[in-house]
Structure 1
Amino acid sequence: MTKTIRFGAAGIALFAAMGMSNAAFAQDTASATATAEVLDALTLDRTSGLDFGTMVVDGAGTVSLAADGTLDCSASDIVCSGTSAVAAFDVTGTANKAVTINLPTGEIDLTHPDLTAATADEHTIELDAFVSSEAGDEITLDGSGDGSFTVGGSIEFDGSEAAGIYTGSFDVSVEYS
């Protein structure tokens, strides 16, 4: 009799499990939402260029222009005069969005108009150590989608530079963070 009860209980459990397995395979559906955020294209305009002013160079040294316009001309063999200015940029995009500022990471050559292969050392100045006015090189656009920032850097002299105006260009880009 005990065996019959055990087989009977096992049979009931087996049928119950079979009934549950049919319920486990029943179809069900759920909906998911899909979203896509479209942002305005970013535009970047340079409003002024980077200008270190005028220098008298009698030896090696560095002149730095901070993004706030502060000129460091403390090298003992360099005397600075004239007006200096940071590079300034305006950016336009989607309101209240964060934008990353991408600055050059290497050196940029500023060259003298008389540059030749033979005179490269005395006709080239290196521009590097770029800095932006924005902490972490990130700016948040205002409620109208506008923002602005400035860029400074440093130039290196070895003392052999020829007198004249040295020019060059560097690229700055922006992207949504």
Structure 2
Amino acid sequence: MASVSRSITIVKNSDLLFGDFIAGTTNSNFRMHAVTGNLIQQSGDAVSIGGAQSRASFTATGTPFAQANIRRSQNSINIVRDGGTETMRVDNFWLGNSGGLRDQILDAAGQATYFVGGRLRIGPNQVAGTYRGTFEVTIEYQ
């Protein structure tokens, strides 16, 4: 017997976006929930004022009914202000599907969608501007 599987492909559907804030005078933490896509203030006095907000989303495509597990390569990153050197930390990445599971079986079409959330740490009197960064995820295919 011999079996040949399709290679897995991963497509990014959306970025992890925390939105717009007014900095406060204390450390502030906001969590983007991976399962619900809701932004939740955990602490501090910074104020969320809307803007584009979304959990990151990736779709894996491979052999139907194969196991595909999402993993992160780091637990925290610094995002950097455009045109500057100021940073904010994003950490506690949370990975999962709509049910909160990181490990999935690809469906009959050979697909599974994964979501990534995390925590944004805004410093006291954080310098205004747009902050950007990247993080990596891997999907282990079995």
TM-score class normalised by the smaller sequence: 0.7 to 0.9
- Contact 2:96 2:103 (C-alpha < 8 Å) held by counterparts: no
Residue 91 of structure 1 pairs with residue 57 of structure 2: no
1:97 deviates by 1.0
Residue 63 of structure 1 pairs with residue 30 of structure 2: yes
Structure-2 residue corresponding to 1:15:
none
Structure-2 residue corresponding to 1:51:
17
The alignment's C-alpha RMSD in Å is: 1.6
- Contact 1:104 1:130 (C-alpha < 8 Å) held by counterparts: no
1:132 deviates by 1.8
Distance 2:23 2:61 in 1: 40
Residue 176 of structure 1 pairs with residue 119 of structure 2: no
- Select the structure with the greater relative contact order (CA < 8 A; seq sep ≥ 6): 2
Query: Which has the higher Rg, Structure 1 or Structure 2?
Result: 1
Once the two structures are superposed, residues 112-157 of structure 1 have per-residue CA deviations (whole angstroms, 9 ceiling, x without a partner) of 02324xxxxxx10011111123345112111110111111111112
Unaligned 5+ segments in structure 2 are none
Q: Could you tell me which of 64, 68, 77 is aligned with 2:45?
A: 77
- Contact 2:28 2:121 (C-alpha < 8 Å) held by counterparts: yes
Distance 2:64 2:114 in 1: 16
SS of 1:73's partner is strand
Once the two structures are superposed, residues 36-74 of structure 1 have per-residue CA deviations (whole angstroms, 9 ceiling, x without a partner) of 543211100101101101111112121110112011124
**Aligned ranges 1:1-177 → 2 under 5 Å:** 35-58=1-24, 59-67=26-34, 68-82=36-50, 83-116=52-85, 123-134=86-97, 135-177=100-142
SS of 1:53's partner is coil
Opposite residue 64 of structure 1, the aligned amino acid is: R
Unaligned 5+ segments in structure 1 are 1-34, 117-122
Write 1 or 2 for the structure with the bigger share of helix: 1
Structure-2 residue corresponding to 1:18:
none
Number of aligned residue pairs: 137
**Identity score, percent:** 28
Q: CA separation of 1:104/1:130 partners in 2, compared to 1, >3 Å: closer, same or farther?
A: farther
Distance 2:129 2:101 in 1: 35
Q: TM-score, normalised by structure 1?
A: 0.71
Write 1 or 2 for the structure with the bigger share of strand: 2
